[in-house]
Amino acid sequence: MTLSKISSLNFREKINASCPSKSMLELLLKRRSLTVKDFINPGPSPDQLNQILTIASRVPDHKKQVPWRFIIIEGEARIKMGRVLKSQFFKNTPDASDACLLFEQNRFMRAPVIIAVISRADPLNDKTPEWEQILTAGAVCQNILIAANTMDYAAQWLTEWYAYDRQILSAIGLDKIERVAGFIYIGTGGGKTLVSGQDLI
Ligand SMILES: Cc1cc2nc3c(=O)[nH]c(=O)nc-3n(C[C@H](O)[C@H](O)[C@H](O)COP(=O)(O)O)c2cc1C
């Protein structure tokens, strides 16, 4: 087999595997986040959420360590999370105003579905450097944004103060080595349109 035949064969295989899509390309060229304050119902259905999580898991993962997990916060769980946030915020800031406390209580009500992407990067893992495990969790977050946008939902990647508050993290069941890579809020765009990202380059 000649070199040109080999490269043309590889090229064809590459195209088959990549599933070229004009609409996907357009989305990637223009992708921007809407802010969560503009989100409304509905969020993804259970089937769509399942699909989003599957797409989220299709990330490059060196040595397949799966250094992430998901916590889904929706429905009543958002109210419970709000109570946890309000109480911890009050502990951290005893002179907080009622308006601030109410805001904390309602943080998770800003979207119908929130996916907490938990990084399980382990510094003692001798197969994959911790840094690469962390990068993989970031890629999981980005895949969620893209999957949600592809389904016509708005999504925003947030951390905010509660992603770094160890009391909150243990209240929601995180191990000591676990960290929040992102709370990905997903909802409907509320009539706002995404602005092209081309002005950024
Ligand atoms: C790891 C990470 C954490 C973020 N946390 C916050 C946050 O806490 N609050 C916020 O307003 N934006 C946060 N952002 C930025 C938003 O997700 C978003 O990128 C920003 O609103 C700009 O939108 P764009 O996606 O159109 O560039 C974070 C982004 C990343 C990657």
User: So what's the pLDDT on residue 9?
Assistant: 44
169 lines ligand 1 (CB under 6 A): no
pTM of the model: 0.90
Contact status, residue 95 vs residue 169, Cβ threshold 8 Å: no
Question: Whole-angstrom Cα distance, residue 75 to residue 112?
Answer: 7
Which residues lie below 8 Å from residue 63, measured CB to CB, with a gap of 6+?
A: 127, 128
Residue with tokens 């016509």: 152
- Sign, CA torsion 196/44/101/181: negative
pLDDT at 46 over 70: yes
- Sign, CA torsion 81/86/91/93: positive
Domain boundaries, the chain: 38-193
- Atom 14 (ligand 1): residue with closest C-alpha? 158
pLDDT tens-digit readout, 12-34: 455 466 788 999 999 999 999 99
User: So what's the pLDDT on residue 104?
Assistant: 98
Which residues lie below 8 Å from residue 60, measured CB to CB, with a gap of 6+?
A: 136, 139
Selecting from 3.40.50.720, 3.40.109.10, 2.60.40.10, 1.10.10.10, what CATH number does the domain 38-193 have?
A: 3.40.109.10
User: So what's the pLDDT on residue 16?
Assistant: 60
33 lines ligand 1 (CB under 6 A): yes
User: Tokens representing 57?
Assistant: 């898991």
- DSSP 8-state secondary structure symbol assigned to residue 156: E
| Average model confidence (pLDDT) across the chain | 90
185 lines ligand 1 (CB under 6 A): no
User: So what's the pLDDT on residue 6?
Assistant: 39
pLDDT at 192 over 90: no
pLDDT tens-digit readout, 59-117: 999 999 999 999 999 999 999 999 999 999 999 999 999 999 999 999 999 999 999 99
pLDDT tens-digit readout, 175-191: 999 999 999 999 999 87
* Region 141-162 average pLDDT: 97
* Region 136-164 average pLDDT: 97
